[in-house]
Amino acid sequence: MNHAQLTALGRALRLLGEHGEALTSTTPDAKLHEVKADLRRALDLLDETVTTAAPTTRCAEHPNGPVDEDAPDRCLLCETRRRAARRAQLNGTYGPPRATAPTDPGSSRYGMRGDRPQPQQRWLPEAWNGQAWQLCGTPRRDRREAELYLAAQRRGPRPAMAYRLVHEFTDYEVLRVWGEPVRVDIEPMGGF
């Protein structure tokens, strides 16, 4: 709706409001025909400004989505999501509810144990640079993806002497090593 349509429609509706306030039991028929003409004009303006189809659901996210008559908002997409959540809750796939307040009234500078995030499981691709193991790529959340990344690095134009995959959870664990890490002295001739 552009500005001109908006102002014309507002003017027509305000005029109809004035007609409504002026109506009495003694209003002449000529005045009623004028109200009827103004109503038609307002409806025509409204037809010009409305360009989309009327919403089929009462859902703000999917107003013209598929309809489910049993859903409270008549939206099939949202109702499918709600049913899946209820089914998952009944099957016990949700964890136990989290406590909203700490149980220990004493405060700690470092927070409560429940406030700290749980360790994340990651796989760290590392390469041997001749002196030490160094991170050679972004830590991955998927082990297979990390192994594919290291396979691509080994096939690359300048592969390292050795690669390894480290599993990080609460501690570090070396899962697999490719190649032989040999310590290389950075000084030529052994530092003589």
| pLDDT tens digits along 41-72 | 988 888 888 877 788 888 888 888 899 888 88
Residue 127 is assigned to a structural domain of this protein: yes
Same domain, 32 and 59: no
Query: What are the phi and psi torsion angles at 129 (to 5°)?
Result: -100, 10
Residue 187 is assigned to a structural domain of this protein: no
Residue 102 is assigned to a structural domain of this protein: no
Q: How many domains does the chain have?
A: 3
State which of 49, 65, 80 marks the end of a domain.
49
Q: For residue 111, what pLDDT band results from cuts at 50, 70 and 90? A: low
Same domain, 71 and 88: yes
The reported pLDDT for the residue numbered 98 is 58
Residue 98 is assigned to a structural domain of this protein: no
Residue 109 is assigned to a structural domain of this protein: no
Same domain, 165 and 129: yes
pTM: 0.34
pLDDT of 121 strictly over 80: yes
Same domain, 126 and 166: yes
Mean local confidence (pLDDT), 74-82: 89
Q: Which domain holds residue 37?
A: 3-49
Residue 14 is assigned to a structural domain of this protein: yes
Same domain, 36 and 83: no
Same domain, 136 and 153: yes
Distance separating alpha carbons of residues 44 and 138, to the nearest angstrom: 61
**Percentage with pLDDT > 90 across the chain:** 14
By 3-state DSSP, what share of the chain in percent is helix, strand and coil, each rounded to 5? 40, 15, 45
pLDDT of 112 strictly over 60: no
pLDDT digits (tens, 9 = 90+) for 96-110: 555 655 555 556 555
Burial 98-132 (b: 16+ CB within 10 A, else e): eeeeeeeeeeeeeeeeeeeeeeeebbbbbbbeeee
Mean local confidence (pLDDT), 161-185: 81
Residue 100 is assigned to a structural domain of this protein: no
Same domain, 75 and 33: no
Same domain, 153 and 170: yes
45, 38 contact by CB (below 8 A): no
